[in-house]
Amino acid sequence: MHSKHKTYVASAAAVVLAFGGPVAAAAAHTADAARTASAAASARADVDAEGAAAAALKKYPGVVESLDKDDAVWHVDIIGKDGKHAEVTVDSRSGKVFTDNADDDSDGDSGGNKELLAAKVTAQQAMKAAVAAHPGQVWSVEWDDDDDNGSRYWNVEVKSGGKTTNVHVDATTGKATVSGSDSDGDDND
């Protein structure tokens, strides 16, 4: 009796697999194809500035203070909501995040950090505004609070056609102003 029970269970499993098999196999094939396509796409396209910011913020929630591309990595400085400062590196090919330094902002620049944390326009929004004003690839973004006239803005470098263009984005209004362009001789593309 015991062996008949095992045979019945095995037969029932075979019936389920027979009916569920093609559907399950098709679903698995589709998932594998999606993973393969995704891997191929990421192999072709490096992580862009927005992707680097998102990866860094996922690991260290807060506000991006600056971000810049250096060969195959992005350097991202983050100020956490708690005032802690983190310097991270994001691999531009894999998107993997490495911690360079994380501290409690012992350099005493908490005044500037308060302004940054309170800014209506984030680094990510500034990047979008800069590219809308001057199409290209964001190469760096940096918080700038001008002590001379009290203005606060994002300085965004956009590369296109072998030239680097600086775009200032107002931290309150989000208005982008193209401030200058120069040829790029370092060919880091």
* Position 189 in a domain: no
Q: What is the mean pLDDT of residues 86-92?
A: 95
* Position 165 in a domain: yes
Same domain for 114 and 159, yes or no, is yes
- Residue 55, pLDDT above cutoff 90: yes
* Position 28 in a domain: yes
Domain of 54, CATH number, reads 3.10.450.40
Across 38-47, 105-114, 147-156, which has the greatest mean pLDDT? 147-156
- Residue 148, pLDDT above cutoff 50: yes
What whole-number distance in Å separates Cα of residue 65 and Cα of residue 34?
Answer: 35
Same domain for 40 and 60, yes or no, is no
Same domain for 82 and 117, yes or no, is yes
Map residue 95 onto helix, strand or coil: coil
* Measured distance between the N- and C-terminal CA atoms of the chain, rounded to whole angstroms: 73
Contact in structure between 104 and 85 (CB atoms under 8 Å): yes
* Position 115 in a domain: yes
What whole-number distance in Å separates Cα of residue 135 and Cα of residue 158?
Answer: 8
Same domain for 64 and 157, yes or no, is yes
Same domain for 24 and 106, yes or no, is no
pLDDT digits (tens, 9 = 90+) for 163-187: 999 999 999 999 999 987 665 544 4
Contact in structure between 113 and 38 (CB atoms under 8 Å): no
* Position 108 in a domain: yes
Cα–Cα distances in angstroms (integers) from residue 62 to residues 53, 78, 89, in the given order: 11, 6, 16
Same domain for 89 and 8, yes or no, is no
Same domain for 131 and 88, yes or no, is yes
* Position 5 in a domain: yes
Same domain for 10 and 54, yes or no, is no
* Position 61 in a domain: yes
Same domain for 41 and 55, yes or no, is no
* Position 188 in a domain: no
Q: Which H or E element spans position 40? A: helix 2-44
Same domain for 73 and 3, yes or no, is no
Domain that holds residue 112: 49-183
Q: 122 or 37: which carries more pLDDT confidence?
A: 122
64-73, 119-128, 162-171, 178-187: segment of lowest average pLDDT: 178-187
Structural domain count, the chain: 2
For 120, phi then psi, to 5°, come to -75, -30
Same domain for 20 and 109, yes or no, is no
Q: What is the DSSP string of 7-32?
A: HHHHHHHHHHHHHHHHHHHHHHHHHH
What whole-number distance in Å separates Cα of residue 89 and Cα of residue 55?
Answer: 10
Same domain for 36 and 123, yes or no, is no
Q: What is the mean pLDDT of residues 80-85?
A: 83
pLDDT, residue 189, reads 39
